[in-house]
Amino acid sequence: MRSIVDKVIAIDAMGGDNAPVEIVKGSVEAIGVFGDTKIMLVGPEKLLKSELSKYSFDKNKIEIVNATEVIGFDEAPTHAIRRKKDSSLVVGLKLVKEGRAGAFVSAGSTGAILTGGTFLIGRIQGIERPAIATLIPNLHGETLLIDSGANVDCKPEYLLQFAVMGSVYAENVLGVKNPRVGLVNIGSEKEKGNTLTFAAYELLEASGLNFSGNTEAKEIPLGAIDVAVCDAFVGNVILKYSEGFAKALLAMIKKELLSGLLSKIGALLSAGAFKRLKKNFDPSEVGGAAFLGLNGLVMKAHGSSDARAIKNAVKQCRLFIENDIVAKIEKELLKEK
């Protein structure tokens, strides 16, 4: 049963490159769009009051929760979480822990959010390592990439748990029936891979998941699977490589198109199509990557999040809460025991 807390989303007003301006703006936009959502904006009270004074909005729907410190991108996570107890990140995570908010969104340092989330909110019982699940575009829609940022050195059991969590996400938030789970690997045959994937294959094959076997990385952008399972080193390489590759490819296209008169006219006529395409690769469209495995909902927004990204992260949180993802992960995990 949904409680009143489920409608409350805490937001780190000081996290990310565009804080607090865009974060505050996005929060105001979110309460405009999602009528029953209330937002707790976490950060220095005076500063946030002044930012909020720029807008007219329903004052009952945004509450400022004072936090005087900020954790930067360059700070060592464990040290920062321990030392800065009055940071927007620590105060925000505690709102979830204490049951005052149903979710926490931050565009701050991934490492600090993960460390803070694990220390302050804790893990779902049975989860060995929380993981980050990020949606990446493919030819036909989206693929959920897990782990895309938390655990660079993994045991096979972690990968099985990532697969379980990713399946719950894909099925319940994305609405994919019986999601296809692929193990990212260097070949499709069972005997391919490194020590980690070899052992993980056995676990995934014996699981109750819809396991598609080993998946070569080239199959991911082509949309062959719904959930791509890997350690966070590989996941980060995929995420970052595609970011750079899309940028490079679009720059090459631009250069080629501007190199001749005919193609220059062609480029002008196709401008709308390219604009739509760029939107496909815009992280603001999704809003947030979820930290799965924590005993509460924590959403990481891209470091360069603008107001729209924050609004979309709130939307993601609502979907997670409505679909009871944390409880469902706990339940599915028991099945794999």
CB of 264 to a second copy, least distance (A): 8
Total length of the chain: 337
Rounded CA-CA distance 121/99 in Å is 10
- String of contacts with a second copy for each residue 81-120, x by CB under 8 A: ----------------------------------------
Q: Which residue has the tokens 């952008």?
A: 221
Nearest to 194 by CA among 154, 164, 221: 154
* Contact pattern from residue 171 through residue 210 relative to a second copy, giving x for each residue in contact according to CB under 8 A and a dash for the rest: -------------x-x------xxx-x-------------
Which of 5, 47, 174, 253 is the binder for a second copy (CB under 8 A)? 253
Question: Sheet of 38-43: strands edge to edge?
Answer: 62-66, 38-43, 8-12, 103-106, 297-301, 288-292, 131-138, 141-146, 227-229, 181-185, 211-216
- Sorted by sequence, the CB contacts under 8 Å of residue 188 that are 6+ apart come out as 213, 214, 215, 216
Residues 230-249 that bind a second copy (CB under 8 A): 231-234, 236-249
Count other Cβ atoms within 10 Å, centred on residue 269. 8
Q: Examine residue 50 and tell whether it contacts a second copy (CB under 8 A).
A: no
Which sign, positive or negative, has the C-alpha torsion 211, 212, 216, 221?
negative
Residue whose structure tokens are 């709308």 = 272
Residue 20, preceding peptide bond in cis (omega within 30° of 0): yes
Q: Which is nearer to a second copy, 4 or 273 (CB)?
A: 273
Q: How far is the CB of 117 from a second copy (least distance, A)?
A: 19
Please answer whether residues 134 and 181 qualify as being in contact, where contact means their C-beta atoms are separated by less than 8 angstroms: no
Interface pattern 113-152 for a second copy (x via CB under 8 A): -------------------------xx---------x--x
Cα angle, residue 149 at apex, residues 145 and 152 outer, rounded to 5°: 110
DSSP 195: H
Is residue 260 a contact residue for a second copy (CB under 8 A)?
yes
Query: How many residues sit in the footprint of a second copy (CB under 8 A)?
Result: 59
Binding segment for a second copy (CB under 8 A), chosen from 7-15, 26-34, 118-126, 262-270, is: 262-270
Selected range binding a second copy among 15-23, 213-221, 296-304, 315-323, rule: CB under 8 A: 213-221
Shorter beta-carbon distance to a second copy: residue 55 or 241: 241
CB of 271 to a second copy, least distance (A): 8
277 touches a second copy by CB under 8 A: yes
Which stretches of the chain bind a second copy, using CB under 8 A? 138-139, 149, 152-153, 184, 186, 193-195, 197, 216-223, 231-234, 236-249, 251-253, 256-257, 259-260, 262-263, 265-274, 276-277, 280
